[in-house]
Structure 1
């Protein structure tokens, strides 16, 4: 009897010493990470910038997929930078960031952070900021218009697609002009058509130029050499 009582006491003491099982849970945290605008870029300023004292429109140029990486000289090879290298003059600033990745889409948060630095350090008319993108850069142009809707007065995507479901977030005052070639075998024409039709459905100022017989590599120059584009662009403002 006495031995049974001792055994019972021992078992009870042992049970009391077993640690409780920790319960799973989640706690609210706040990240302290910051976005570094560590992008290389080219910046064009008009010839009269230093003497005029006025504010200027600014065009963001987003290049295609084959100019990403860390060699900024690649950005000069096509698009607006190529026109500038060839002696073309524009009445606006041109900010041409380089996508740091050779494979991925533009990191648009970094693009916007770097753009804000340029705007803060130059005489920029904030009501006349435009974005033009080609191919992978056109995907970036669509994304910038959706994610930073108060920034851009006009958006010109050339041969690129995007997320039509977020177009309702774009600025109601912004204007859109998309370009795409019928013979594009890289990004299908239907990508631009779907986005354009969605813009029209939500009553945005939008137009689409479908270039007959033009393939993916030729549509960039075809769009940028359209003089009507530049007249239209400079008429847009927020």
Structure 2
């Protein structure tokens, strides 16, 4: 007998959550519903789930924060946002946090069920018996004498953790994926901010300045500005 997939469903709208949960259970899923972000995080820590459905506008802890907490401890579990916030910026934020999809309200139950089936199938394939032996976490990428943990938003040097913001970690990861190479300014802006207008460019400059300060303890590492083009993360070796 196939085990019923367990879904963590975090939604504060009582009527919507009742209807959605009823349809999910009719489709033979086991649903654990929570009405606040804090309840959702507590439930996720206490139990194992095959998939998470998260609203964005939640009391106590919003859905973006909850997704960030979940991704910090589990990079595999599928996350789907169900939100009334339909702005492009919100959708991009959710996807950058590691969500697998972002559906806007009102959504089709049939579409939701289809997406759940797709993501559960993908998740189960990635953890099939061939690859589900004890997982060894890959080594953290080195940036000179720093170790960069993007999932946990930290730079570690000599045992000391420097906590990054999500945007700082995103910018640094984009540069690190292209070490010692020129990264075009507009490519970075579109990848992280979703656009390359003037005001976002000013914001990028602020984050580059912050990252330079965070990396300043190692003289072999620097972020160069390439005039009129973009930036280059210079590191002594690619480990």
Instruction: State the TM-score, normalized to the length of structure 1.
Output: 0.39
Highest RCO, 1 vs 2 (Cα 8 Å, sep ≥ 6) = 1
**Larger Rg, first or second structure (1 or 2):** 1
